Amino acid sequence: QVQLQESGPGLVKPSQTLSLSCSVSGASVNSGYYYWTWIRQPAGKGLEWLGRIYTNGATYYNPSLKSRVTISVDASKNQVSLRLGSVTAADSAVYYCARERVVGPTNFGFDSWGQGSLVTVSS
């Protein structure tokens, strides 16, 4: 049973960089067929896909975030990390890491999610 656990500061100052980690257990971040993804949800609002990384290191980001977002993998720690720069109050949200299963062209959805990490941007 795969488990994902987000961690990081709950409070970030405006203009600084938000950094979160997602520890994965029960699966390897190096295993094929999975995209490791970050999704966020502002309080009382819907879900926004931020970006993903594959086992080969290939990344895709939401263009809405322009060049502020970076996702990386630390295979030695079996972790996936998110960095979001130049944050504002609009970046306050619960941040989820999730695993998307893809086999060839077939997409099997986000089958595992972390419990979420609340980040507030405030001075």
Partner 1 sequence: DIVMSQSPLSLPVTPGEPASISCRSSQSLLHNNGFNYLAWYLQKPGQSPQLLIYLGSTRASGVPARFSGSGSGTDFTLKISRVEAGDVGVYYCMQALLIPRTFGQGTKVEI
Q: Give the footprint of partner 1 on this chain (CB under 8 A).
A: 37, 46-49, 51-52, 60-64, 96, 100, 105-111, 113-116
- Nearest Cα to Cα of residue 39 among 88, 89, 79, 99: 99
Shortest spacing between CB 97 and partner 1, in angstroms: 10
Nearer to partner 1, 16 or 42 (CB): 42
Q: How far is the CB of 93 from partner 1 (least distance, A)?
A: 13
Q: Closer to partner 1 by CB, 16 or 70: give it.
A: 70
d(CA 48, CA 22): 17
**CB 24, min distance to partner 1, A:** 15
In the complex with partner 1, which residue's Cβ is closer, 62 or 72?
62
Q: What is the CA radius of gyration of the chain?
A: 14
Can you tell me the distance from the alpha carbon of 50 to that of 53, in angstroms, rounded to the nearest whole number?
11
Closest among 35, 34, 30 to 49, alpha carbons compared: 35
Q: Cα-Cα-Cα-Cα dihedral of 16, 42, 116, 99, to 10°?
A: -100
Q: Which is nearer to partner 1, 47 or 75 (CB)?
A: 47
- Closest distance between partner 1 and the C-beta of residue 98, in Å? 8
